[in-house]
């Protein structure tokens, strides 16, 4: 399942640069995560980097976007394929 950033976010700028899929962006008030790009770092790391580095622990799973490990891996493969096409 994708992750989300809660209102406890302090905009410390730690999560955005560690996201390998560039799923994290600055919203109107706090950082947000694009669920179409979030793979919980599947394919890149053993655990989500944003959650690992977040100093206030405000990045839980998003219950509105349930996904299995297999679905996250498929999303990762789709994202990588799209990036490779755009870099050609």
What string of pLDDT tens digits covers the 88 residues of the chain? 799 999 999 999 999 999 999 999 999 999 999 999 999 999 999 999 999 999 999 999 999 999 999 999 999 999 999 888 877 6
Query: Where do the domains of the chain lie, and which CATH numbers do they carry?
Result: 15-86 (3.30.70.20)
Q: State residue 4 phi and psi, 5-degree precision.
A: -140, 160
Q: What is the pLDDT of residue 47?
A: 96
Q: What is the pLDDT of residue 1?
A: 79
The token duo for 24 is: 């994290």
| Three-state SS at 2 | coil
């Amino acid at each position: 399942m994708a992750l989300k950033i809660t209102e406890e976010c302090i905009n410390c700028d730690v999560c955005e640069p560690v996201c390998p899929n560039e799923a994290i962006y600055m919203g109107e008030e706090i950082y947000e995560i694009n669920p179409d790009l979030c793979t919980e770092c599947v394919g890149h790391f053993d655990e989500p980097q944003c959650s690992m580095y977040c100093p206030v622990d405000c990045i839980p799973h998003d219950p509105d976007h349930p996904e299995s490990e297999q679905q996250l891996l498929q999303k990762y493969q789709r994202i990588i394929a799209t990036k490779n096409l755009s870099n050609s």
